[in-house]
Structure 1
Amino acid sequence: MQTGPTKNEPETVESPTNVNVGERKLRRRLKLRHIVFLGLAYMAPLAVFDTFGIVAEATDGRVPLAYILIIIAVTITALSYAKMSRYYPGAGSAYTYAKETLNPHIGFMVGWAATLDYLLLPMLNALLAAIYMGAVLPGVPAWVWVLSTIVICTVLNIVGVKLAAQVNIILVVVQIVVALAFLFFAIRNISLGVDGAALSLTPFDPAGIPPGALLGGASLLALSFLGFDAITTMSEEAIRPKTDIPRAIILIVICAGVFFVAITYAMQLLFPDVSTVGDIVGASPEIAKYIGGALFQALFVGGYMFAVLGCGLTQQMSAARLLYAMGRDGTLPKRMFGRINRRTGVPVFNVAIIAVLACSAMFLDLESAASLINFGAYVAFGAVNLSLIVATIKHLRPAGRIGPIAGIVLPTFGVIINLALWLSLDANAKIVGLVWALVGFAFLLINTRGFRNPAPAMSEPEMD
């Protein structure tokens, strides 16, 4: 088992040479700006609009305050990721950190829980496509948009279309431009005092809001930060992984956090009572129409659909590759999941499985879907904080390289707040998540013959 650096262990020398990983050769060519940009592309900045209406209703108009709460949780977790990525600079994530510091069997369960996120993200994308297009064309049934999104992404993935880094850059630029235009129109309306809009601290005032309601609203907002941790899997391609990966993690969380608070603050000032919008779930497109007219709403929804299709394409292939890797390694049946098409190099069966799972969007509402996605996220976040505590006690603190506050106190607070947010998730999501965890536990119990054998390997999701 890999351990943290010891007192007499020299620092790892970083060089821009190739790194061998099994049969792969990864070139160290990513600088800090590349890592940050790829992390933002994976997060999808327009995610800030997804749950605004639901959270605004749940928190009585305190979405920015709910964001501050989730930012605290994510920042502490990001610091833990940064510390762990420094001491375990190989490609890794919550699964790797839990496996190396806690226990391989616990690591498997963390990886199994996190896998649920990757399998269901395409479902969430299809659901969001239906919500946003429904705001523009309400006469078209939602299932049409769900199936259209799934079919487009599935066909493109099966024929072997891949998103290049340049397309990811375009994707991020389009989202940022759309979001900044939204912010511009919102600020203009506030400055003109449209319908009595004015600057106020009410969106940050916790008075009169039950803590449970605030936690419940905040628990849905982890969706906006999903993917900041994915850049830890790029450690073997970074030129300076021990410095740039931690910095990129913190930069992504800070930039995204400021951006999300600014956007939701402006929206909340315009609509202190979100029920006046009409469609709470599709509040963002309605607000876009209110602040910029029908033309801006069309541009807003068009930019969002571009992001949804881009993310859906990448996320479906990432999930399919994850299933393929698990099949190749024998964690899942190899005959079914460990096969790829010889002509296109695509795991066609896995892509189809993800498409079938995505069809569940026709039967779920946004709150339930977001809670399902966040179930695995909070398990992973809590596991990374706990891993840092154990690593500090076992390996790092004796070396004098990490203090008790950064290595024990902060991650302990991170475990507590992530647990509180996890407990605040939708009840049905917790039931489905726990059933998924029980299936993984039963599989682990049988596969290891009562934990007497080593835990099977869990493959790490890869960023495109």
Structure 2
Amino acid sequence: MTRTATPAHPTLKRSLGLWAIVGLGLGYMTPMTVFDTFGYVSEESGGVVPLAYVFALVVMIFTAISYGRMTRVYPSAGSAYTYASETVHPNFGWIVGWTALLDYLLLPLVNALLVRQYLESFFPEVSGWVWVIAYVAMITLLNLWSITSTSRVNATLLIFQIVLIGVFIVLAWVALAQGAGNGTPFTLEPFWNANVQIMAVVSAATIVCFSFIGFDAITMYTEEAKNASIVPKAIVLALLFGGLIFFTAGWFAQSLFPTDAGFEGTALPEIAYSVGGMIFQIFFVSAAVAAAVASSLASHASVSRMIYVMGRNGTGPISRFFSYVHPKYRTPAIAVIFVGVVSLGAAVADLDFIFTLINFGALIAFTIVNVTVILHFAVRNKQVKGFSQVFRNIVLPAIGIALTVLLWVNLNIDAMIYGLIWLAVGVVVLLSITRFFTRNLRMSFEEDEVIAEGEEGEAALNAADREVLHVGEALDGGRADDSSTAAGPRA
């Protein structure tokens, strides 16, 4: 495969700092989701929602380490698609990217659908189409304008969510101290009890892993980070902060409702009302709307970057169409508009059906990223000398593979069926665009520009590396292992 150069201008604008990227990741995760899914997860896990989140977090930590390492090697906005293309073959990478689109592309639609339902409940006389068109137009225009404006709006909405979750925790503590639920905030019952069944917890973890989709989307902003080296640190911080919020909120919700409370649909309004009454319920539902908007902004931005990179790496008019960057705003304009058009499906889509599809693509992408770590470091660069390298380059990603596969095989049957159908369609499309593999895809990857384009070029990159060295060491055991970049042989 021959690597081709990408035109130098226009390019995506490097304007995102560490905390802006962390905020986009947390916004994507949607912290309020823990309350929306509480009733379902509590029933599925047998009343140990926090334990289900811990299990999912452990799975995600191993995968986050792999994402962080591969981001340092291939600092491109394509995420799993880029890593698979570079380490295996562009055709395989394209299939991985297609599969990942199943969750990336549908999440903006899900958020638009949730907002439609919220607004329909307040204004039933207004057609859902009106809300969807207005809402999707707003999100699309913000993403077209600039990633900086998207980040700022996301940060404001994220802070609103976190403040309201903090108020919930305080009110829940007071209620527990007064005898509600378990009767005390000091109990391990929400985390472990005599009735815990491990496979039930694993099954519940396949549901809540949806909440962690977002830490991987951070890699989509690699080409818009002020310095590419901050992305691995942002991945770890977003995952840990998100896990802490989910665990803490889930703990207090489970303490207040230790047994099946008979929630139907989202449990959020009932939980809010039981803790703080009507006034708090209004604010809490408002925070849920803010969460959906923040997730819309972040998910819309990230998937448009993935489509942009896949288009940039293709050939022909369709690829040129999707790889267009607006010369003034320096955003992937056509990809952003395309995601907006898909999101209009929220006017007619069924939420339960969409949810069955999302985790399939995410878990496939997570598994492949762990595989690429082994292929790049252990197989291609033969970094298997001694226990330390074997542990980092084989054992850790292998554990990540095993855990993500465990979640994947425990998905419900609808997710498996429709996910495999989507995958089969992707194979057909790949056969078409490669003319039955007689025409190669390409990887258009301006590595030197991506790596060096910091505040002061390479000097700034080295300074930033020193600043995040402790995180880099946690991710890859030091710079030495990850210094081997994309210069290896290609298929």
TM-score between both structures, scaled by the size of structure 1: 0.81
Q: For residues 53 and 148 of structure 1, do their structure 2 counterparts lie closer, same or farther at Cα, with a shift above 3 Å needed?
A: farther
Q: Quick check: 1:397–1:403 contact (8 Å CA) kept in 2?
A: no
Aligned to 1:203: 190
Q: Which of 72, 75, 89 matches 2:58?
A: 72
Please give the alpha-carbon distance, in whole angstroms, between the structure 2 residues aligned to 1:380 and 1:183: 34
Identify the match of residue 150 of structure 1 among 116, 132, 151: 132
| Structure 1, 75-84 or 181-190: larger mean CA deviation | 181-190
- Assess if the C-alpha contact under 8 Å between 1:40 and 1:228 holds in 2: yes
Q: Tell me what 1:373 maps to.
A: 358
Instruction: Report if aligned partners of 1:324, 1:337 keep a CA contact under 8 Å in 2.
Output: yes
Secondary structure (helix, strand or coil) at the match of 1:45 reads: coil
Rounded to whole Å, the distance in 2 between the matches of 1:285 and 1:2 is: 55
Structure 1 range deviating more: 193-202 or 369-378: 193-202
- Give the Cα–Cα distance (whole angstroms) in 2 for the partners of residues 266 and 373 of structure 1: 27
- Identity over aligned pairs, percent: 37
SS at match of 1:228: coil
Q: Partner of 2:190: helix, strand, or coil?
A: helix
Corresponding residue of 1:173: 159
Task: Look up the match of 1:23.
Answer: 9
- The 8 Å contact of residues 156 and 313 in structure 1, kept in 2 or not, is answered as no
Contact 1:153–1:316, Cα closer than 8 Å, also in 2? no
Match of 1:247 in 2: 233
SS at match of 1:204: coil
Report the residue type matching 1:286 in the other structure.
Answer: E
CA distance change for structure 1 residues 451 and 209 in 2, over 3 Å: closer, same or farther?
Answer: farther
CA deviation after TM superposition for structure 1 residue 427, in Å: 1.3
Aligned 1:244-283 pairs, distance under 5 A: 244-274=230-260, 276=261, 278-283=262-267
Partners of 1:265 and 1:320 lie apart in 2 by 35
- State how far apart, in whole Å, the 2-side matches of 1:452 and 1:281 are: 50
Residue 200 of structure 1 aligns to a residue whose secondary structure is coil
Which residue of structure 1 aligns with residue 369 of structure 2? 384
Match of 1:216, as an amino acid? S
The residue number in structure 2 matching 1:229 is: 216
Q: How far is 1:235 from its partner?
A: 2.9
Residues 378 and 384 in structure 2, CA contact (< 8 A), matched pair in contact too: no
Judging changes above 3 Å, is the alpha-carbon distance between structure 1 residues 173 and 2 closer, same or farther for their aligned structure 2 residues? farther
Give distance in 1, aligned partners of 2:325 and 2:71.
32
The CA deviation at 1:378 is: 0.4
Mapped pair 1:355 → 2:339? no
Q: Using a 3 Å threshold, how does the CA distance of structure 1 residues 441 and 127 change in structure 2: closer, same or farther?
A: same
Query: Which of 281, 284, 293 is the matching residue for 1:300?
Result: 284
Matched residue SS, 1:194: coil
**Taking structure 1 as reference, are residues 354 and 321 closer, same or farther at Cα in structure 2, changes over 3 Å only?**
farther
The 8 Å contact of residues 56 and 209 in structure 2, kept in 1 or not, is answered as yes
Structure 1 stretches lacking a partner, 5+ long: 4-19, 460-464
Quickly say closer, same or farther: Cα 1:403–1:331, change in 2 above 3 A.
farther
Q: Per the alignment, do residues 304 and 83 of structure 1 end up closer, same or farther by CA in structure 2, a change over 3 Å counting? A: same
- Alpha-carbon spacing, 1:415–1:146, altered in 2? closer, same or farther (3 Å): farther
Distance 1:408 1:430, change over 3 A: same
Q: Distance in 2 between matches of 1:412 and 1:62?
A: 28
Separation (CA, whole Å) in 2 of partners of 1:332 and 1:437: 24
What amino acid is the match of 2:242? A
Which of 30, 45, 48 matches 2:34? 48
Alpha-carbon shift at residue 449 of structure 1 (Å): 3.2
1:437-457 residue CA offsets vs partner (Å, 9 max, x unmatched): 000011112322333332367
Corresponding letter in the other structure for 1:373? I
Corresponding letter in the other structure for 1:279:
F
Q: Which amino acid aligns with 1:221?
A: V
Which has the higher mean CA deviation after the structures are superposed, 291-300 or 437-446?
Answer: 437-446
Question: Match of 1:305, as an amino acid?
Answer: V
Structure 2 CA distance for aligned equivalents of residues 218 and 419 of structure 1: 12
Count residues in correspondence. Answer: 433
Extract unaligned runs of 5+ from structure 2: 446-491
> Does the 8 Å contact 2:139/2:296 carry over to 1?
no
- Which of 192, 196, 206 is 1:219 aligned to? 206
